[in-house]
A and B are shown apart, each in its own frame.
Chain A
Amino acid sequence: MKWRLIALIVGALAILAGAVLIAHASPLASLQSLFHGSLGTPVAIAGTLKETTPLLICGLAVFIALRAGLFNIGVEGQLLVGACTCGVVATKFHGITGMVLGVICGMIAGTLWALPAALIKAYRNGHEVITTIMLNNIAMLITSMLVSGPLKDKAQSDTATPYVDANTRLPWVYSNPPVQINLALVLGVLLCLGMAYWLKKTVGGYELQAVGANRTAARFAGISPQKVTMVAMSISGALGGLAGAVQVLAYEGRFYDGFSPGYGFDALGVALLAGGNALLVLPSSLLFGILSKGGTALQIDGIPKGITTVVLGLLILIAAAIRFRQVTKDA
């Protein structure tokens, strides 16, 4: 399994190189730039890890839904409502209380945001892809409206909520500036381990994956697909909300217009690349983090950031094509 992942990465980088040539730059130099920009200096590494955190948590959100056979494209929206809610709650409450409440409220907001899609899928068989995308758009609009209006911090010129107190921020577990690793990342890693354990070692996880793998056989095994759909989408939404809340408490300190550069969408790629193993979400999100941070460095070199998105899209297609080959060979 591992060599396939490496082959994919190599392939993606090859495409990157080709595009770079179009941009009249040297592929080798650009490659160096990419790696240097993401992993070359302590600052870079810290930045990469920072990018990785929301990708990791959102990736887990999409992953668990995928395991149940569901496409939660709405993580972007769940992240936004989670972040917005947390941004408000964490300014009303302080210290550890503020943190905990902020996170919990963020998760609840995320779950609530996933609920309509979950219900429509479970009981009306309405495709969750469309409903979650629609909810995304509504979330973007509503949070934008709220943060420009009633939630706006009068003291700032930015369209943002007030800053959360310093003592309500998620602490750094390792801080030796410029290298800093936040509790948020640790939380993400723990969640990943927890999810892997839950899927492999609990009856709930077993039944969820059964529904995703063979809905009919799951029914004959006494499992209720509707219940599993509701549970999976709720957890997924909660994780999306958590990602947003954590983003506020760890890195941003407030919620603002344009909060997410598309973490929720990238998360789909993260989850797809991880395949069937929850633990692989870790390296997958790291890869996306590298490409994201490195992409910024490339931009400075004159290579538009868009190239990384292209690579990621191609990665998804290639990964799926490879899996297809695999399945048809086994059959």
Chain B
Amino acid sequence: MSFAVRLLGITKRFGSVTALDRVDLEVEQGAIHALVGENGAGKTTLMRVLYGALHADEGALELDGNAVRFNSSREAIAAGVGMVSQHYGIIPELTCLQNLILGAEGGPVLNGKVAEARAQQLAERMGFSFDWNADAATLSPASAQKLEILKLLWREARIMILDEPTAMLSPADSDALFESLEQLAKDGATIILVTHRLPEVLDHCSRVTVLRGGKRVDEKLVSTTNGPELAKMIVGEAIERYESEDCPSLGDAVLDLQSLTAKGARGDLALKEVCLNLKSGEMLGVAGVDGSGQRELFEVIAGLIKPISGSLQIVGNDGNNLGSWDRIEKGLRLIPEDRHAQGVVEEWSLDENAALGLQRLEPFAQKNLVDTDARKQMAGKIAERFKTKHGGLNLAMASLSGGNQQRFVAARSLCLNPKLILAFQPARGLDIKGTQQVYEGIREACRNGAAALIVSFDLDELLEQCDRIVAMNHGKLYEPQAGQSKDRDAIGRLMVGAQ
């Protein structure tokens, strides 16, 4: 048994965060090896080390028994390592053939016929077919994925890293993909599959390595393990059962979704017949791995995406009649995922940012006139709420650290009688104390009649803070069975699709 790849003792730190802590990974020649874990577990980081895109602080790398050191992706590619990343690297405006050869043209002059012949050969070997001169924009996600694999073959990669390759694929397309991967493995390639989806692991991989929190939890032969066991390893053992402090008294429905279906940015179905009911007083956690549809759920509720079908009721009003500002007026408040791009204007002062998202409401404005004094007061209150550290309300938002910006944005969302608080990773970038404060603030708002929907990739956080939890996977929303709404195992299984 020879190892195609050995990563030994890999440690990588980003500032004070240890993303990888002495991780070992040994991949057999010709195997399809799964690397699993939640968001933030370190899977992608580890693969980027292998791909030469990152330098490890400690540890060693071996290919086919020889010690190697990559200073750049170029060197890794030259050594036969190839990676297909989650967000496809296909340029839609170029043709399929052009996409295939970009960066590996082989010389200043392109010989179309020769290239096409070779491409066709590679494609046939895999059972693919492409119209080489068609624009890549016409490719379906499944076909784009296939083209990405061909890119690896074109560059004669023998070690292929596939990062979440089935994220955008239908079950049928996923099956087809795995047929191709098995063919590749038979031909001698070594494949590392980074994934959350346990069924894939159980059906197609020979070995699986589990990462959690930057550490390697275990490595197993797939034939000796099962879904529930893996899910437990991924999501961790519960040291104590999490229980909410008191049972919240629930009021009327604040949010009601029925069979809501919506398209994502790529035109695919990002939400599939989602049903959800949220009553005032509740804090609902939405768990799931990144890309399961949480973002689209967030934006549909916020009024930024129009659903294709289904119904949505916010605070008793039909969503069809409510634009995004109307919803804010009815009590919707947002803590967006990306504060920099979606939550604040960096060049503006804290004072000016305080009104963003609330600008037409009193006291920020009186009948279309901005009340600068009142705004300043509110800004002060917002900054004070979670102890945002700042040098002055008139300084630019950019002068605040990320964590303090988050404190500010979170505090802002609790202003002016919120009825529905939509939060996407509300404690992002905050330490334990800051996280507690923010959640306590949300809880207090809920005690006063609001409801909160909180999306997070950190299941522990949700378990600790929310009253009940649902899971999203592949655009569908799953509610745990009665009595299991805070059961870590049950939710973990729903998240990764293991039943």
Residues of A that sit less than 8 Å from B by CB: 200-207, 210, 213-214, 216-217, 219-224, 330-331
* Interface contact B325-A222, CB-CB below 8 Å: yes
* Interface contact A206-B345, CB-CB below 8 Å: no
- Least CB separation from A199: chain B residue: B370
* Interface contact B345-A220, CB-CB below 8 Å: no
* Interface contact A210-B369, CB-CB below 8 Å: no
* Interface contact B343-A217, CB-CB below 8 Å: yes
* Interface contact B341-A222, CB-CB below 8 Å: no
Once A217-B341, A222-B325 are accepted as A-B contacts, the answer to whether A207 and B359 lie under 8 Å apart by CB is: yes
**Distance in angstroms between the alpha carbons of A210 and B368 in the assembled complex:** 15
- B355 contacts A by Cβ under 8 Å: yes
* Interface contact A222-B357, CB-CB below 8 Å: yes
* Interface contact A221-B357, CB-CB below 8 Å: yes
**Distance in angstroms between the alpha carbons of A217 and B370 in the assembled complex:** 19
> CB within 8 Å of A: which of B312-348?
323-325, 327-328, 334, 336, 341-348
**Distance in angstroms between the alpha carbons of A220 and B343 in the assembled complex:** 7
Task: Name the residue among B323, B356, B357, B365 with the largest chain A CB count within 10 angstroms.
Answer: B356
* Interface contact B398-A221, CB-CB below 8 Å: no
* Interface contact A214-B345, CB-CB below 8 Å: yes
Offer 12 A-B interface pairs, CB within 8 angstroms, sorted by A: A204-B368, A206-B370, A210-B356, A214-B345, A220-B304, A220-B336, A220-B343, A221-B356, A221-B359, A224-B323, A224-B324, A330-B399
**Interface residue count for B (Cβ, 8 Å)?**
32
- B302 contacts A by Cβ under 8 Å: yes
* Interface contact B345-A217, CB-CB below 8 Å: yes
* Interface contact B304-A219, CB-CB below 8 Å: yes
* Interface contact B369-A220, CB-CB below 8 Å: no
**Distance in angstroms between the alpha carbons of A213 and B341 in the assembled complex:** 11
* Interface contact B357-A331, CB-CB below 8 Å: no
Which residues of chain A come closer than 8 Å to B334, judged between CB atoms?
A: 220
**Distance in angstroms between the alpha carbons of A179 and B493 in the assembled complex:** 85
Which residues of chain B come closer than 8 Å to A223, judged between CB atoms?
A: 325
- Least CB separation from A330: chain B residue: B398
Taking a contact as CB atoms closer than 8 A, the residue among B323, B352, B370 that contacts A203 in the complex is B370
- Least CB separation from B325: chain A residue: A222
- B372 contacts A by Cβ under 8 Å: yes
Taking a contact as CB atoms closer than 8 A, the residue among B325, B336, B345, B370 that contacts A210 in the complex is B345
Once A203-B359, A203-B360, A214-B345 are accepted as A-B contacts, the answer to whether A220 and B368 lie under 8 Å apart by CB is: no
* Interface contact B372-A201, CB-CB below 8 Å: yes
Taking a contact as CB atoms closer than 8 A, the residue among B343, B345, B348, B369 that contacts A202 in the complex is B369
Task: Name the residue among B323, B327, B360 with the largest chain A CB count within 10 angstroms.
Answer: B360
- B233 contacts A by Cβ under 8 Å: no
- B396 contacts A by Cβ under 8 Å: yes
Which residues of chain A come closer than 8 Å to B357, judged between CB atoms?
A: 220-222
Once A213-B348, A214-B345, A219-B324 are accepted as A-B contacts, the answer to whether A202 and B370 lie under 8 Å apart by CB is: yes
* Interface contact A217-B356, CB-CB below 8 Å: yes
Which residues of chain B come closer than 8 Å to A221, judged between CB atoms?
A: 328, 356-357, 359
Q: Give B129 Cβ to nearest chain A Cβ, in Å.
A: 34
Taking a contact as CB atoms closer than 8 A, the residue among A200, A213, A214, A331 that contacts B370 in the complex is A200
Which residues of chain B come closer than 8 Å to A330, judged between CB atoms?
A: 396, 398-399
Which residues of chain B come closer than 8 Å to A213, judged between CB atoms?
A: 345, 347-348
Q: Give B3 Cβ to nearest chain A Cβ, in Å.
A: 44
Once A206-B355, A220-B336, A331-B398 are accepted as A-B contacts, the answer to whether A201 and B370 lie under 8 Å apart by CB is: yes
**Distance in angstroms between the alpha carbons of A205 and B370 in the assembled complex:** 9
**Distance in angstroms between the alpha carbons of A277 and B24 in the assembled complex:** 58
Q: Give B294 Cβ to nearest chain A Cβ, in Å.
A: 16
Which residues of chain B come closer than 8 Å to A204, judged between CB atoms?
A: 368
* Interface contact A222-B369, CB-CB below 8 Å: no
* Interface contact B342-A217, CB-CB below 8 Å: yes
Which residues of chain B come closer than 8 Å to A205, judged between CB atoms?
A: 370
Once A203-B369, A220-B304 are accepted as A-B contacts, the answer to whether A214 and B341 lie under 8 Å apart by CB is: yes
**Distance in angstroms between the alpha carbons of A200 and B359 in the assembled complex:** 13
**Distance in angstroms between the alpha carbons of A223 and B324 in the assembled complex:** 8
**Distance in angstroms between the alpha carbons of A104 and B341 in the assembled complex:** 40
- Least CB separation from A222: chain B residue: B325
* Interface contact A216-B360, CB-CB below 8 Å: no
Which residues of chain A come closer than 8 Å to B327, judged between CB atoms?
A: 222
**Distance in angstroms between the alpha carbons of A204 and B345 in the assembled complex:** 17
Which residues of chain B come closer than 8 Å to A214, judged between CB atoms?
A: 341, 344-346
Q: A206-B370, A220-B334 are in contact. List 14 more A-B contacts (CB 8 A).
A: A202-B369, A203-B365, A210-B359, A213-B347, A214-B344, A214-B346, A217-B342, A217-B345, A220-B343, A221-B356, A222-B323, A222-B327, A222-B357, A222-B360
Which residues of chain A come closer than 8 Å to B372, judged between CB atoms?
A: 200-201
Which residues of chain B come closer than 8 Å to A220, judged between CB atoms?
A: 302, 304, 324, 334, 336, 342-343, 357
Q: Give B163 Cβ to nearest chain A Cβ, in Å.
A: 26
* Interface contact A203-B356, CB-CB below 8 Å: no
* Interface contact A201-B345, CB-CB below 8 Å: no
Which residues of chain A come closer than 8 Å to B336, judged between CB atoms?
A: 220
- Least CB separation from A215: chain B residue: B341
Q: Give A64 Cβ to nearest chain B Cβ, in Å.
A: 17
- Least CB separation from A204: chain B residue: B368
* Interface contact A216-B370, CB-CB below 8 Å: no
Q: Give B455 Cβ to nearest chain A Cβ, in Å.
A: 15
- Least CB separation from B348: chain A residue: A213
Chain B 341-383 per-residue mask, 1 if CB under 8 angstroms from chain A, else 0: 1111111100010011101100001001110100000000000
Q: Give A67 Cβ to nearest chain B Cβ, in Å.
A: 12
- Least CB separation from A201: chain B residue: B370
Which residues of chain A come closer than 8 Å to B328, judged between CB atoms?
A: 221-222
Which residues of chain A come closer than 8 Å to B323, judged between CB atoms?
A: 222, 224
Q: Give B332 Cβ to nearest chain A Cβ, in Å.
A: 9
Which residues of chain A come closer than 8 Å to B346, judged between CB atoms?
A: 214
Q: Give B30 Cβ to nearest chain A Cβ, in Å.
A: 46
**Distance in angstroms between the alpha carbons of A331 and B399 in the assembled complex:** 8
Taking a contact as CB atoms closer than 8 A, the residue among A207, A217, A219, A222 that contacts B344 in the complex is A217
- Least CB separation from B332: chain A residue: A222
Which residues of chain B come closer than 8 Å to A331, judged between CB atoms?
A: 398
- Least CB separation from A327: chain B residue: B347
- Least CB separation from B341: chain A residue: A216
**Distance in angstroms between the alpha carbons of A206 and B348 in the assembled complex:** 11
Q: Give B293 Cβ to nearest chain A Cβ, in Å.
A: 19
**Distance in angstroms between the alpha carbons of A1 and B325 in the assembled complex:** 36
Q: 5 shortest A-B CB distances, which residue pairs?
A: A222-B325, A221-B357, A213-B345, A222-B324, A214-B345
Q: Give A189 Cβ to nearest chain B Cβ, in Å.
A: 22
- Least CB separation from B329: chain A residue: A222
**Distance in angstroms between the alpha carbons of A323 and B355 in the assembled complex:** 26
Q: Give A327 Cβ to nearest chain B Cβ, in Å.
A: 8
Q: Give B302 Cβ to nearest chain A Cβ, in Å.
A: 7
